[in-house]
């Protein structure tokens, strides 16, 4: 019996020690190095053609961020002008930017600065990753297109930052402090310090990127059900050209504006791009701001769907800023009672007056270009053919110093499609300045709510409008351009404030 017991015991020990050994052997060391399953490691991000293409779309998604071109960047450029009045007095939704009392530690400043640079860095990383592995994966031809898209986005991002955070090009011919010009990808610590390049240097990079993009972008995207969508939401050759007309206008390089515009605008009406995508004005402007948002007038727009990953997010959407109808829109900014809506020449029958909506309860007027309900899926326009026409018109007048006939034709094209009863003739303009003023006014009417007004104020050197308790701000005065992000000043020791 005793012997038997010991045997049983031994068995138990054996089993038990076996368990311990198994356990020691069963430790799963591979679990110490988990492979993330919901994301892709940075080292394999260029491994397949699909991933590379997803990254290209990712660059646009960066641009589309709610703090940048997906919403707030556009809002900021509009509300710095004279046509909007802040309603909610909420600094989180740019009341302080509107009243020109903003400081560099405000999220309004810091978030947009950060998002634009995050877009730039991703472009830089993409350009480098393609050179390293991506080009071999997708082939030379595709790689050329993709690289051009990255450069386009980088150029647009730098241009956009210049409009808010640097003095205009005309001030010292670009010699004023510009932006830290980052052209290499950053993936780790240690790169914070970088001095500001001059305004001219940054513009030179923008032009270089856009020129390179023009060369290598496709003329159009493949035919099929999604062609119109892709042509509107991804850059093609005409996008780069169109954007250059805007950039050169900001630089007051009017001859170059004409050179670029002529590539896609014929000398006489009907104005329709002859190469690439056949951009032209739509007969009814309201169709441009309606689903599917992909008319040939929209050279580039930021797309949205109702998916929560594909919207610009709370307090970023144009509709919440500019609109207020029932549960749609938060009435952050109404149309200024003394703004462009009071213009007598803007007739009530003008189709664009339908974008002026009066809230029945408050009797306030709001812009109704963006009226889709939550989650606010209206596309955000980046550049429209109408702007290119007006860019060209203005450049023509400024280079010729005459009441230019083509300029009048271009102005009439924009005005006439919404207001057939108004036809400008040379007789309407005593001087070339009068024609320029008409074009500038047309821009305010045509492009309101599309993030253009501040660009015009900056390039023209206009005063910023007065606000309650604050007189007009003149160029060069404190607050004329936005303060630099506080975090940039803290963590980039070579950075200087505006």
Q: How far apart are CA 208 and CA 192, in angstroms?
A: 25
Residues whose CB is less than 8 angstroms from the CB of residue 205 and which lie 6 or more positions away in sequence, other chains included: 155, 158, 181, 183
Between 55 and 406, whose beta carbon lies closer to another protein? 55
Q: Virtual CA dihedral for 62, 66, 68, 71, nearest 10 degrees?
A: 130
Tell me whether residue 118 or residue 211 sits nearer to another protein (CB atom). Answer: 118
The kind and range of the H/E element at 183 are none
Instruction: Kindly tell me which residue out of 7, 12, 136, 470 binds another protein, with binding defined by CB under 8 A.
Output: 12
Q: Is 132 in the site for another protein (CB under 8 A)?
A: no
Q: Of 137, 135, 1, 116, which is closest to residue 59 (Cα–Cα)?
A: 116
- Residue 358, strand partner residues: 365
Pick out residues in 358-387 that bind another protein (CB under 8 A): 361, 373-375
Residue selected from 75, 94, 102, 125 as contacting another protein according to rule CB under 8 A: 125
Q: Which stretch binds another protein (CB under 8 A): 23-31, 207-215, 343-351, 474-482?
A: 23-31
The answer to whether 28 contacts another protein (rule: CB under 8 A) is: yes
Q: How far is the CB of 73 from another protein (least distance, A)?
A: 15
> According to CB under 8 A, which one of 20, 225, 267, 344 is a site residue for another protein?
20
Q: Residue from 476, 493, 496, 497 that binds another protein (CB under 8 A)?
A: 493
- Please state the closest distance from residue 22 (CB atom) to another protein, in A: 10
Among 170, 201, 229, 416, binds another protein (CB under 8 A): 229
Site for another protein in 420-459 (CB under 8 A): none
Q: Is residue 302 classed exposed, middle or buried when 0-12, 13-18 and 19+ CB atoms within 10 A define those classes? A: buried
Is 310 a binding residue for another protein by CB under 8 A? The answer is yes
User: Beta-carbon neighbour count of residue 486 at 10 Å?
Assistant: 16
Taking the C-alpha atoms of residue 130 and residue 46, their distance in angstroms, rounded to an integer, is: 7
Of the pair 23, 223, the CB lying nearest another protein is at 23
Residue 488 touching another protein (CB under 8 A): yes
Three-state DSSP class for 69? coil
List beta partners, residue 86: 333
Helix axes 254-264, 385-400, angle to 10 degrees: 140
**Segment 91 to 110, residues that bind another protein, using CB under 8 A:** 103, 105, 110
Among positions 391-420, residues that touch another protein (CB under 8 A) are none
Residue 382 or residue 457: which is nearer to another protein going by CB? 382
Determine the interface stretch with another protein among 181-189, 235-243, 335-343, 422-430 (rule: CB under 8 A).
181-189
Q: Is residue 180 near another protein by the rule CB under 8 A?
A: yes
Q: Would you say 87 or 393 has its CB closer to another protein? A: 87
Nearer to another protein, 48 or 282 (CB): 48
For residue 300, the minimal CB distance to another protein (Å) is 12
Among 275, 287, 291, 306, binds another protein (CB under 8 A): 306
CB of 222 to another protein, least distance (A): 14
The C-alpha R_g of the chain, in whole angstroms, comes to: 27
Query: Where in 34-53 is the site for another protein (CB under 8 A)?
Result: 34, 36-42, 45, 51
Pairing of strands 298-302, 380-384: antiparallel
| Sequence-separated contacts (24+) of 126-129 with Cβ below 8 Å | 126/55, 126/56, 126/59, 126/150, 126/185, 127/151, 127/185, 128/184, 128/185, 129/45, 129/46, 129/55, 129/185
Main-chain dihedrals φ then ψ at residue 400, nearest 5 degrees: -90, -20
Enter the tokens of residue 264: 């896609």
Residues numbered 246 to 305 that lie near another protein (CB under 8 A) are: 302-305
Residues β-bridged to residue 84: 335
Report in angstroms how near the CB of residue 417 gets to another protein at its nearest. Answer: 27
Nearer to another protein, 2 or 344 (CB): 2
Cα separation, 167 vs 152, whole angstroms: 22
Q: If binding is defined by CB under 8 A, does position 460 make contact with another protein? A: no
């Amino acid at each position: 019996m005793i012997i038997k017991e010991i045997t049983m015991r031994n068995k138990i020990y054996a089993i038990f020690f076996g368990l311990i050994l198994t356990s020691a052997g069963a430790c799963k060391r591979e679990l110490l190095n988990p492979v993330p399953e919901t994301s892709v490691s940075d080292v394999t991000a260029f491994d397949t053609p699909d991933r590379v293409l997803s990254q290209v779309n990712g660059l646009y998604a960066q641009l589309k961020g709610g703090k940048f071109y997906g919403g707030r960047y556009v809002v900021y450029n509009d509300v710095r002008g004279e046509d909007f009045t802040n309603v909610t007095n909420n600094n989180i939704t740019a009341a302080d930017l509107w009243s020109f009392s903003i400081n560099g530690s405000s999220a309004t400043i810091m978030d947009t600065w950060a998002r634009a640079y995050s877009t730039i860095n991703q472009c830089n990383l993409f350009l480098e990753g393609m050179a390293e592995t991506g080009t071999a994966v997708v082939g030379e031809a595709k790689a050329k297109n993709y690289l051009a898209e990255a450069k386009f986005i980088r150029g647009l991002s730098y241009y956009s930052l210049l409009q808010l955070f640097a003095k205009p090009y005309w001030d010292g011919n670009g010699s004023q402090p510009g932006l830290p010009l980052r052209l290499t990808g950053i993936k780790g610590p240690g790169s914070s310090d970088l001095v500001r390049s001059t305004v001219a240097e940054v513009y030179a990079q923008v032009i270089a990127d856009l020129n390179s993009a023009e060369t290598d972008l496709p003329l159009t995207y493949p035919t099929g059900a999604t062609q119109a969508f892709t042509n509107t939401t991804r850059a093609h050759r005409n996008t780069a050209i169109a954007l250059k007309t805007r950039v050169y206008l900001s630089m007051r390089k009017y001859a170059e504006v004409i050179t670029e515009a002529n590539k896609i605008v014929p000398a006489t009406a009907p104005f329709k791009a002859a190469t690439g995508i056949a951009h032209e004005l739509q007969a009814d402007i309201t169709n441009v701001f309606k689903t599917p948002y992909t008319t040939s007038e929209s050279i580039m727009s930021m797309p949205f769907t109702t998916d929560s990953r594909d919207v610009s997010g709370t307090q970023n959407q144009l509709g919440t800023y500019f609109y207020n109808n029932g549960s749609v829109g938060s009435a952050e900014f109404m149309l200024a009672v003394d703004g462009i809506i009071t213009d007598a020449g803007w007739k009530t029958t003008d189709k664009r007056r339908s974008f002026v909506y009066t809230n029945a309860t408050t009797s306030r007027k709001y812009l109704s270009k963006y009226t889709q309900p939550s989650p606010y899926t209206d596309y955000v326009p980046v550049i429209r053919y109408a702007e290119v026409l007006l860019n060209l018109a203005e450049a023509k007048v400024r280079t010729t110093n005459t009441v230019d006939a083509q300029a009048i034709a271009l102005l009439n094209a924009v005005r006439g499609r919404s207001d057939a009863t108004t036809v400008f003739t040379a007789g309407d303009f005593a001087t070339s300045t009068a024609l320029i003023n008409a074009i500038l006014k047309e821009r305010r009417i045509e492009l309101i709510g599309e993030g253009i007004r501040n660009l015009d104020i900056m390039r023209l050197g206009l005063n910023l409008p007065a606000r309650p308790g604050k007189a007009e701000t003149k160029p060069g005065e404190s607050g004329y351009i936005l303060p630099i992000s506080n975090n940039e000043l803290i963590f980039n020791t070579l950075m200087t404030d505006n």
